[in-house]
Structure 1
Amino acid sequence: MHSIDLTLTISGSTPSFPDSPKTQLISWSNIKEDGYNMELLFFSSHTGTHIDAPFHFVRNGLKINQIPLDRLIGKGILVKIHKPKNTAITKSDILLFEKNHGIIPSNSSVFFISGWIKNLQKKNYFKENPGLSVSAAKYLASKKINLVGIDSPSIDLGKDISFRVHNELSQNNILIVENLINLDKINSLTFDFSILPLKLKDATGSPVRAVAFCN
């Protein structure tokens, strides 16, 4: 079994969502003056490869520190549906995947390869990204899906400022992971994964270290 890192490196050049603070890693101490190196971290809890807790969109939703570990470690299903900019992955797309590869079981964790991550440093990354349609989100919610991941900055279309898919999934207690990388390096439709956030009290999200384990 080998591991595949699905995580963006967080640095000063990591793009931030519009209106979010720019990521900064600020030197605080150094070996010459203090005897050790240390830095301060300044960035949104939704920076880089990160997880959204339901509390991000639901008043009484599950918070990051309340997510059970068994929801963050498990088996994933890889769904490859490349879409051009401003185009949604639909319920019909998912049904076609199931026709060709088998039904996605209830309580699964589903990872979508859109191919959009290649545009990470482009100006349209946050504004024109593909995402899920509301019909696709409702279909996944009907299956009581555990987690939905995607290799784009948002599970919603970039142009959908009402966050309808975030709301649909969050209201159904479905975890959301965004900005995944290297999904195309996974060589099977199913794989083991670990997606571990910081245990931040009452937080809406957290950067994660996301890893796939493949044979």
Structure 2
Amino acid sequence: MIWDISPPVHAGTPVYPGDAPYTQRWTSTFGPDSPVQVSALGFSAHLGAHADAPLHWDPQGAAIGALALERFIGPCLLLTTTRPPGSLLVWEDLVGLVDLAELAPLPERILIRTWDPHAHDAPPEDTWRTPWSALAPELLDALAARGARLIGIDTPSIDPADSLTLPAHQAARRHGLVVLENLLLTDPPPGPYELIALPLRLTTAEASPVRAVLRPTASPEVC
């Protein structure tokens, strides 16, 4: 079984205010002179489920196409919180979800679901909604210290919507963490999985959409 954790992408897909929405135009359509259809696409690099590269928060950072693909494939642990929207998640919020003390080191990839289906009328992929829950930089410090190398979340950013200093992104920079944002984590139950979320090989871009999926695993390391 495969869990698709990528929000659908279309003209109505929410984007960060000011970012480029999804557009599509046909440059070739079926007709006497064309046996195929071809379209041209336009959108923000942060559309839908996406991976941030260091270039997003560091002017000297690597572009998304330069990152090792191994970071985006492998065992992961999906956790879910019940904190209200707008919360700043800390280490103690995760410790109560699973005995993380027994997971030493942690899986290299940690995904965090913050969306509570009982608290909202519409799924998160349908509506631009603020505030959202974000990650305290100390949480990233703790996860990195325990072996995490990729952090994923179901919100548009690991930082609060109104943040101008981006402390969580700066913590990711300090620890060399890969960041996945805007994942669709409403359906998979918490637990261990194999994550596959490959970005495009964009050589000058600060981010890339990904088609993120989870495959169940029986790995004893995270059961």
TM-score by length of 1: 0.88
Cα distance in 2, alignment partners of residues 97 and 105 from structure 1:
17
Cα 1:55/1:144, change in 2 over 3 Å = farther
Q: 1:145-181: CA deviations, max 9, x gaps?
A: 2100011111112232321111211232111111111
Letter in 2 for 1:163: L
Letter in 1 for 2:47: T
Moved more, 66-75 or 104-113: 104-113
Could you tell me which residue of structure 1 aligns to residue 97 of structure 2?
A: 97
1:101-120 aligned at under 5 Å gives the runs 102-103=102-103, 105-106=105-106, 108-115=108-115, 118-120=123-125
TM-score by length of 2: 0.86
Match of residue 136, structure 1, among 109, 121, 139 = 139
SS at match of 1:198: coil
On the 8 A contact 2:7/2:125 being kept in 1, the answer is no
Cα 1:143/1:61, change in 2 over 3 Å = farther
Could you tell me which residue of structure 1 aligns to residue 194 of structure 2?
A: 192
Q: Does 1:151 align with 2:154?
A: yes
On the 8 A contact 1:94/1:136 being kept in 2, the answer is no
Cα 1:100/1:144, change in 2 over 3 Å = closer
Match of residue 167, structure 1, among 161, 165, 170 = 170
- CA RMSD in angstroms comes to 2.1
1:12-161 aligned at under 5 Å gives the runs 12-32=11-31, 34-99=34-99, 102-103=102-103, 105-106=105-106, 108-115=108-115, 118-123=123-128, 125=129, 127-161=130-164
Could you tell me which residue of structure 1 aligns to residue 221 of structure 2?
A: none
Cα distance in 2, alignment partners of residues 23 and 188 from structure 1:
31
Which runs of 5 or more residues in structure 2 are unaligned? 117-121, 218-223
Which runs of 5 or more residues in structure 1 are unaligned? none
Letter in 1 for 2:188: I
Cα 1:100/1:70, change in 2 over 3 Å = closer
Post-superposition offset of 1:91: 1.9
Identity among equivalent positions (%) equals: 25
Cα 1:70/1:9, change in 2 over 3 Å = same
Post-superposition offset of 1:107: 6.1
Which one has the bigger helix percentage? 1
Cα distance in 2, alignment partners of residues 38 and 196 from structure 1:
24
Post-superposition offset of 1:96: 3.0
Which one has the bigger strand percentage? 1
Cα distance in 1, alignment partners of residues 141 and 72 from structure 2:
22
